[in-house]
Structure 1
Amino acid sequence: MEEERILESERYQMEQIRELEFEELQVEEVQGLDDSSDDNEANDRGYGGVSASGEFSFNISLASLHTYLGEVEDTHHRLTFLDGGAVLNLPLFYQEGVVLFPEATLPLRVIQPNFIASVERALRQVDAPYTIGVVHVYKDPDNGRIRFSTIGTTAEIRQYRRLEDGSLNVLTRGQQRFRLRRCWIDVEGIPCGEIQIIQEDLPLRTPRDAVGQLAPLRNLGAGGLSQTPSFNSSQAKQFGYDEDDSDAISEESFESELSLTERRLHQSAIVTCYGSSHRGGERSENAALRTSEKFISGRQSCKAGGQKRDSVSRMHEVPRAFWPFWVYRMYDSYCLAQRVADMWKQIVGAPSMDGFVNKPDLLSFYIGSKIPVSESTRQELLEIDGISYRLRREIELLESFDRVRCKNCQTVIGRRSDMLVMSSEGPLGAYVNPGGYVHEIMTLLKANGLALIGSAIKEYSWFPGYAWTIAECATCERQMGWLFTASNKKLKPKLFWGIRSSQVANDMH
């Protein structure tokens, strides 16, 4: 019965979409944006295009199909990933306002002859077929010259269509980050670059609780380190070890599970804490104990008498880790991924992110491509090496994100609570206009300080069923984006805004 209701709902939505072009455009007054009715609509709305009260009817999967490009042919080609460190030459595509992340979709309307030639070469090249390199370009604030970012992303051509005028409509998908070593224009006028694929780190698993279960100081002989942690059967089962598997809980086995960085930290802690056993220096042992007391149990003050003696005794049972567990968690990719996923769901209200939590690397790229910040900030995220560091930076941005401001005059355009998901790809996505310019826009239910220019236009709408009107900042008259208005009075939301990320200020507070 439930399935029948879902199918009926989908059929209704498709019939509704088909009827859109036959109905008159219902233009809403912009002044109505601040009415209490809109406030109620914003409060009642659910995320992902559907509200709890059923007032949102737009099918968010339509926007991600980029149907405005018309029919496109699938290349039926899926690229195997290139080895990290590989160096090769690729045709390049670059444009202001474009920052491509791995796994993100980038639509292209290729009009310029040199970029048409770039795509055609990618379609027939032997090395990395159907692949172009996408780099972000920006104007140097000092002299106005165009500069290339040093980090870009390979893009696989998934679909394309050649039009009668020779132009191309192309859908690409980001694959791997690369470093741009050099670039040039070849004899055919094709922009090319020598790139090196970046070797990505594996998600960082810090020692976590297992560190605290290793042999304490009192179990170590003066001649060296004990090689077997003091696990009991229940502790072994807790960490997934077989009670009879002595190798699984050995020191060598524990260290083999650590990354190079973790292993160095762990070994450094051992040398620091236990160096006195080899040097026989009482001062080194006391220093190690003081360090342990500061970082492991520094927050627990010692009282006089027996309590103080017990505390000193417990210091000889500190685990073989230099930092306490909560410090390790600060750089544990999986802990950070869970925190980012929770924050994203709280802010955007996206569906469950559980699948991403188990893949911190993909989550860091997903959030980087969808977080509603300026293009320069997203390029900063793309350039961060290390999954944990990228996730930590994204947490900072999500914590500070509250207002959307005009890049030129700092006028507040919208707030975090105004965000709206109108595409299955998230609240921020890339779309291309008929002139071939790619715009990355964030969608808001409400916006302030904007003036509409011209009339509403149905053709080439990025959101099927909505007409678009150019919107400028009322203060500085810079184009901030568009107002999208429903062409069918049954389609909801009745209107929303698309704000260009290239016109958003870096300060998100």
Structure 2
Amino acid sequence: MDDDRILERERIQIEQIRELDFEELQVEEIDDFRDSDEEDDLASFRVNSHMTLSGNLGADELTFNPALASLHTYLGEVEDTQNRIAFVDGGTVLKIPLFYLEGVVLFPEATLPLRIVQHSFLAAVERALNQDNAPCTIGVIRVYREGAQFKYASVGTTADIRQYRRLGDGSFNVITRGQQRFRLKRRWTDVEGFPCGEVQIVEEDVPLRTPRDAFGKLVPISNLRGRCHTSTMALSAPLRDTDEQSVTYSEESFESALSLSEKRLHYSAVDSIMDDWTSSDDDQAVSSRSIGCLSSGKDCEKEDWQSAKGETSVSQGKAHKQNRLTSFRENTDLTRFRMAPRAFWPFWVYGMYDSYYLAQRAADLWKQIVGVPNMEAIVNKPDVLSFFIASKIPVSESIRQELLEIDGVSYRLQREIKLLESFDRVRCKHCQTVIARRSDMLVMSSDGPLGAYVNPYGFVHEIMTFYKANDIALRGRPVKKDSWFPGYAWTIANCSTCETQLGWLFTATNKKLKPSSFWAVRSSQVADDIR
């Protein structure tokens, strides 16, 4: 999507925000018990979560517009940056400021909001905005705890600073977008106190349809040259019509190039096919032989009697077999069989590595399980689709880091398909309590079921949203200020078993706004086991 379309979309969404601001909002007490009407409203919203603000539900009701959350309006107005860096070639080495973020995995094309309050990171943003080699570019690395130590991921993503705003206290509100994956070569601390790194941009592979094209277009067996190895059969290029005469080889030349063991396999296969072909015509063969004997005056009964007694010589038996083989080779059906294109593996094997085939499977599963947003616009771009699903799939941050580190579009799509098929329950990372199920998922942002948001203190949280959650205890009263979702107040939500902060309950501050409430669970607090 180009910049003009993005600006037009944002302009429309801002108008919708203003329309919502005109509504009279009143903060309500949280009610832990929902009546049946509210449950019906939530179920309806889950089905129609792509709807924008409208009067479809009645003149007195409003449906939350998921596009509002993706704009991060809580950051206030921001200005576009100039002279942003374009995509660089794979293998390029850059020296850029690094942002270590706990609980966050950034993917290409994903939005990452930042609130910069620490002096060292303010200097990092200033450096990024003014550096010559990679203007407006920072590197984002996931950091995680392992016991009492912090560990740093070796693969991260460059982030392009798209918009920013300097506040009166000197802090920055920044909106970035993921650009390209990189591998961290080395890192150090700048003299101004912020981390820097030397990163190498990952060379992404190009999605190909080659496996599917190869199926059904391999060279016919009669045109194969040399030894019949697996690699030769799998990699042989299809013949052009103009080359057919110049590269046609006889059956004898093909057989002469085989080793002893390969000849045994070849003759065994031919004999097996020949037996199947001749066995179905036994009656016809006997009848034809009888007619031939009558017309030639031969004594067929004597011939049959000698054969039955085993008086036919070994040489006659070999000659008979050779005649059958010659007749089989000259048969029209066999000629077509030999000339038919062959594929060494069945189609489903090629489909496992066909990026376009896998992309369609992943898009179909996404539509069935998640639904929003629609993948039709990018289903023909497997690399883009694979990163989009990885950035939005509601699983733990460690699994998403695993997806980021996978090289190869087809391998990433394979893993995502397995995750979508197995995703059913969400558990607390610390006590394994089941928090929610797949059927409880609710999409509250046009970006998808998982998104990154930043609080006033600079902490970034990736959250997944559900209309229903289990075994969660609320702490404190609803707060409307700094809400990530316009029209909703937030309340801290802890696991009732281990008391870990899992996320928040968001409650509508307007009785007319639907859904009336929903839960936001931090991906960093979700267990890796999603079954």
Which band: TM-score by shorter chain? 0.7 to 0.9
Contiguous gaps of at least 5 residues in structure 1: 1-8, 232-244, 253-273
Decide whether the 8 Å contact of 2:25 with 2:487 is kept in 1.
Answer: no
- Figure out how many residues of one structure are paired with residues of the other and give that number: 457
Local SS of the residue matching 2:222: helix
Correspondence for 2:26: 24
CA distance in 1 between partners of 2:260 and 2:457 (Å) = 75
Alpha-carbon distance, 1:352 to partner: 3.2
Correspondence for 2:309: none
Local SS of the residue matching 1:84: coil
Alpha-carbon distance, 1:219 to partner: 4.5
CA distance in 2 between partners of 1:289 and 1:80 (Å) = 60
Q: How large is the RMSD of aligned CA atoms in angstroms?
A: 3.7
Note closer, same or farther for the CA distance 1:180–1:284 as it changes in structure 2 (3 Å cut). same
Counterpart among 215, 233, 258 of residue 280 in structure 1: 258
One-letter code aligned to 2:32:
V
Decide whether the 8 Å contact of 2:222 with 2:254 is kept in 1.
Answer: no
Decide whether the 8 Å contact of 2:50 with 2:372 is kept in 1.
Answer: no
Q: Provide, for residues 87-109 of structure 1, a one-character-per-residue CA deviation record: whole Å limited to 9, x for no partner.
A: 12111001211110000000001
Note closer, same or farther for the CA distance 1:77–1:445 as it changes in structure 2 (3 Å cut). farther
Alignment of 1:241-252 (within 5 A): none
Q: Provide, for residues 287-326 of structure 1, a one-character-per-residue CA deviation record: whole Å limited to 9, x for no partner.
A: 4788999xxx9xxxx7992399999988745644321222
One-letter code aligned to 1:185:
T
CA distance in 2 between partners of 1:314 and 1:220 (Å) = 15
One-letter code aligned to 2:384:
L
Alignment of 1:18-97 (within 5 A): 18-20=21-23, 22-32=24-34, 35-45=35-45, 46-50=47-51, 54=57, 57-97=63-103
Matched, 1:166 2:170: yes
One-letter code aligned to 1:175:
Q
Matched, 1:381 2:410: no
Note closer, same or farther for the CA distance 1:375–1:206 as it changes in structure 2 (3 Å cut). same
Correspondence for 2:313: none
Counterpart among 131, 135, 145 of residue 137 in structure 2: 131
Alpha-carbon distance, 1:285 to partner: 4.4
Decide whether the 8 Å contact of 1:458 with 1:468 is kept in 2.
Answer: yes
CA distance in 1 between partners of 2:262 and 2:501 (Å) = 65
283-292 or 358-367: bigger deviation: 283-292
Counterpart among 143, 152, 159 of residue 155 in structure 1: 159
Q: Provide, for residues 230-255 of structure 1, a one-character-per-residue CA deviation record: whole Å limited to 9, x for no partner.
A: 78xxxxxxxxxxxxx859x9999xxx
One-letter code aligned to 2:482:
Y
Q: Provide, for residues 254-298 of structure 1, a one-character-per-residue CA deviation record: whole Å limited to 9, x for no partner.
A: xxxxxxxxxxxxxxxxxxxx99656333521454788999xxx9x
Alpha-carbon distance, 1:213 to partner: 3.7
Greater CA radius of gyration, 1 or 2? 2
154-163 or 215-224: bigger deviation: 215-224
Note closer, same or farther for the CA distance 1:323–1:166 as it changes in structure 2 (3 Å cut). same
CA distance in 2 between partners of 1:38 and 1:291 (Å) = 69
One-letter code aligned to 1:84:
G
CA distance in 2 between partners of 1:333 and 1:339 (Å) = 10
Alignment of 1:54-453 (within 5 A): 54=57, 57-141=63-147, 144-208=148-212, 210-220=214-224, 229=238, 277=255, 279-287=257-265, 305-306=279-280, 316=338, 319-453=341-475
Note closer, same or farther for the CA distance 1:114–1:212 as it changes in structure 2 (3 Å cut). same
CA distance in 2 between partners of 1:110 and 1:10 (Å) = 26
Alpha-carbon distance, 1:25 to partner: 1.2
One-letter code aligned to 1:105:
T
Note closer, same or farther for the CA distance 1:277–1:37 as it changes in structure 2 (3 Å cut). farther
Local SS of the residue matching 2:178: strand
Correspondence for 2:298: none
CA distance in 1 between partners of 2:382 and 2:433 (Å) = 35
Counterpart among 516, 525, 529 of residue 494 in structure 1: 516
Correspondence for 1:264: none
Decide whether the 8 Å contact of 1:47 with 1:348 is kept in 2.
Answer: no
Q: Provide, for residues 141-169 of structure 1, a one-character-per-residue CA deviation record: whole Å limited to 9, x for no partner.
A: 3xx21111000000000111111222111
CA distance in 1 between partners of 2:468 and 2:270 (Å) = 53
Alpha-carbon distance, 1:72 to partner: 1.1
Note closer, same or farther for the CA distance 1:157–1:221 as it changes in structure 2 (3 Å cut). closer
Alpha-carbon distance, 1:385 to partner: 0.2
CA distance in 1 between partners of 2:64 and 2:376 (Å) = 25
Alpha-carbon distance, 1:208 to partner: 1.6
Q: Provide, for residues 356-410 of structure 1, a one-character-per-residue CA deviation record: whole Å limited to 9, x for no partner.
A: 1110000010000000000000000000000000000000100110011111111
Note closer, same or farther for the CA distance 1:39–1:490 as it changes in structure 2 (3 Å cut). closer
Decide whether the 8 Å contact of 1:74 with 1:158 is kept in 2.
Answer: yes
Normalising by structure 2, what TM-score?
Answer: 0.78
CA distance in 1 between partners of 2:281 and 2:371 (Å) = 50
